[in-house]
Chains A and B, each alone.
Chain A
Amino acid sequence: MTISAIEKTVIGSIDDIPLGEGRTFTVEDEMIAVFRLRDGSLRAVSAVCPHKGGPLADGQIDNRVVVCPLHLFSWDLATGCSQSGQPPITVYPVRVDGDLIVLGE
Chain B
Amino acid sequence: MTQRLVVIGNGMAGARTVEEILARNGDFTVTMFGDEPYGNYNRIMLSNLLAGVETEEGIFLNDLSWYQENGITLNAGVKIARIDKDSKIVIAEDGSATPYDKLIIATGSYSWTPPMKNVHNPKRGYHQGVFAFRTLDDTRGMIRYARDHERAVVIGGGLLGLEAARGLQNHVSHVTLLHAMGHLMERQLDPKAGAMLQASVEGKLGIEVVTNAMTTEILGKDRVTGVKLADGRVIDCDVVVIAAGIRPNTEMVANSGLPVERGIVVDDQMRVEGEQDIYSVGECAQHRGNLYGLVAPLWDQAKVLADHITGTTEVAYTGSKLHTKLKVAGIDVASMGLIAPEHDTDEVVVYNEPKKGVYKQLIIRDDVLVGAVLVGDNSKAASLIQAFDRGTPLPEERAGLIFDLGGAVEESAEDMPDDAQVCNCNGVSKGAICGAVADGCKTVSGVMDKTRAGKGCGTCKPLVQRIVEWANGGAAEEDPAASWYVPGVPMPKPELMAAIRKYELKSVSSVFDTLVPGAQHDAKSKMGLASLLKMMWADEYVDERDARFINDRVHGNIQRDGTFSVVPQMKGGVTTPAQLRKIAEVAEKYDVPMVKLTGGQRIDLLGVPKEKLPAMWADLDMPSGYAYAKSFRTVKTCVGSDFCRFGVGDSTALGIALEERYQGLEGPGKMKLAVTGCPRNCAEAYVKDLGVVAIDGGRWEIYVGGAAGAHIRKGDLLTTVDSPEEVIRLTGRFLQYYRENANWLERTYSFVPRIGVDRIREIVVEDSDGIAAALDAAVEEAVQAYKDPWKERAEPATPGQFRTSLPLTVLPQVPVRS
Which A positions have Cβ atoms within 8 angstroms of B?
A: 7-12, 15-27, 31, 33, 38, 47-48, 52-63, 65-67, 69-74, 83-85
Contacts and interface: CB of A to CB of B under 8 A. Distances in A.
Contact of A84 (B452, B545, B813): B452
B523 A69 contact: no
A38 B521 contact: yes
Nearest to A73: B452
A66 B560 CA distance: 18
Contacts of B812: 26
Interface stretch (B117-125, B141-149, B349-357, B801-809): B801-809
Contacts of B531: none
A71 B452 contact: yes
A65 B805 CA distance: 17
A54 B562 contact: yes
Given A53-B806, A56-B805, A62-B523, 13 more contacts: A12-B814, A23-B805, A24-B803, A24-B806, A26-B812, A53-B562, A58-B805, A59-B550, A60-B523, A62-B522, A63-B521, A66-B523, A67-B524
Contact of A70 (B524, B560, B804, B813): B560
B562 A58 contact: yes
A31 B521 contact: no
- CB-based closest 10 A-B pairs: A20-B546, A55-B805, A57-B805, A62-B521, A18-B798, A58-B550, A62-B523, A26-B811, A55-B806, A55-B562
Contacts of B725: none
Nearest to A21: B546
Interface residues of B, number: 47
A84 B451 contact: yes
A23 B801 CA distance: 9
A83 B526 CA distance: 17
B449 interface: yes
Which of B455, B800, B810 is the most central at the interface, judged by chain A CB atoms within 10 Å of its CB?
Answer: B800
B614 to A, nearest CB: 16
A16 B553 CA distance: 16
Contacts of B524: 60, 65, 67, 72, 74
A60 B814 contact: no
Interface of B: 426, 432, 436, 449-452, 455-456, 488, 509, 520-524, 526-527, 544-547, 549-551, 553, 558, 560-562, 610, 798-800, 803-807, 810-814, 816-818
Which of B451, B521, B817 is the most central at the interface, judged by chain A CB atoms within 10 Å of its CB?
Answer: B521
B188 to A, nearest CB: 39
Given A38-B509, A61-B523, A62-B522, A72 B452 contact: yes
A70 B557 CA distance: 10
B804 A24 contact: yes
Contacts of B545: 18, 20-21
A21 B800 CA distance: 10
16 contacts: A8-B818, A26-B813, A26-B814, A31-B806, A38-B521, A47-B806, A54-B562, A59-B523, A59-B550, A60-B546, A60-B549, A61-B546, A62-B520, A70-B562, A73-B452, A74-B523
Contacts of A65: 523-524
A83 B449 contact: yes
A74 B818 CA distance: 33
Contacts of B800: 16-17, 23
Nearest to A55: B805
Contacts of A17: 799-800
